Amino acid sequence: MNWTDKHVIVTGGSEGIGAAVANAFAQRGARASIIARREAPLRATAERIGADWCAADVTDRPGLASAIKELEQRNGACAVIACCAGLTLPGLFLDVDGDEFGIQSDANYLGSVHAIRCVLPGMVERGSGHILLLSSTAAFLGIPGYSSYGPTKASVRQLGLCLRYEVEPAGVTVSVLYPADTDTPGLARENLRKPVETKAITGSIKPMPADKVGDAAVRGLERGRHHITMDPLTTFFLRWANLPEDLSRPFFRRSISRARRRAHQELT
C-alpha cells in the first residue's frame, strides 16, 4: 500500500502504542493526525513525529467528533482510523472500584466505537478505508486481575469480527491488533497496581518496544491481515480462538450475499 499523503487519524496518539502507530505511518509518507486528552504531551509528540494534532477525550462524543471533523478539514478525508486510546486499571474483581469498570469500557471499547462512527460513513461513500482496532491477548485469555479490563478488549475484538461483514463489501478493511505487554508509560502505571496474581501470569513476559508494535501494526495492514500479532504465543492462542470464526465466515458470507440478492430482487 502507498500511504503517501493519505490521512491517518490515531486516537490515543500522545504516547505508547498510539504514538508509535502514528510515527510508523508518518515515516511512510502519510499525513498523520493524533488525538489525546492531554494537550502538552500531545503537542510534543506531534512535533517529534511531524503530525497534526487536536486534543479530545474519546469518552466525550461531541468533543471527539469535533476534533475529527477539524482534522479532516485540515488534512483531507480520513483514510485510516487507528483506535489506540485506552487504559488498564488492574485489580481483583472485589477490590476494583465499581466505577473503574465503566471507565475502562468507555475508553477502551466505546471510545473506538465513537471514533469509527465519525469516519465510517465517508469511507463507505468513497468505497475505501481502513480501521485498526487495538485489542489484547487478554481478549481471549482469562487473566486474574484483568476482570475489568479483559472484557473491554474482548468487546473490541468482537467489534472487529462483526464489522468485517458489514463494511468489507463497501471496500473498508478491518484489522485487530493484539499486542502482548508493550514498554509504554501506560504499562509502567499499570504495573504499580497489578495484584500478585496478575504478576504471576504476566511477570515473565518481556515487554516489546512500542516502535516495534507500531511498525508491525502498519505492516499488518499492508499485508491485508485482519488479525495482527507480534509474538509466537499470542499467534498460537489466536489461531485457536479464531477457529470457530474462520470455519463459520465462508458460510455466513454466502448466506449474507444470498439474502442481499433476494432483497435487491424484491425491491426491483
As annotated, the active-site residues are: 135, 149, 153
How many CB atoms lie under 10 A from the CB of residue 136? 27
- What letter represents residue 170's amino acid? A
- In whole angstroms, give the CA distance from residue 96 to residue 94: 6
Contact 17, 180 (CB under 8 A): no
Q: Which helix (H) or strand (E) holds 48?
A: helix 39-49
DSSP codes, 95-134: TS-THHHHHHIIIIIIHHHHHHHHHHHHHHHHT-EEEEEE
Residue 253 grid cell: 458470507
Give CA angle at 226 (126, 242), nearest 5°. Answer: 140
Q: How many CA atoms lie within 13 A of 96 on its CB side?
A: 21
E strands along the chain, which residues? Answer: 7-11, 31-36, 52-55, 78-83, 129-134, 172-177, 182-183, 208-209, 227-228
- In whole angstroms, give the CA distance from residue 242 to residue 129: 24
- In whole angstroms, give the CA distance from residue 54 to residue 30: 17
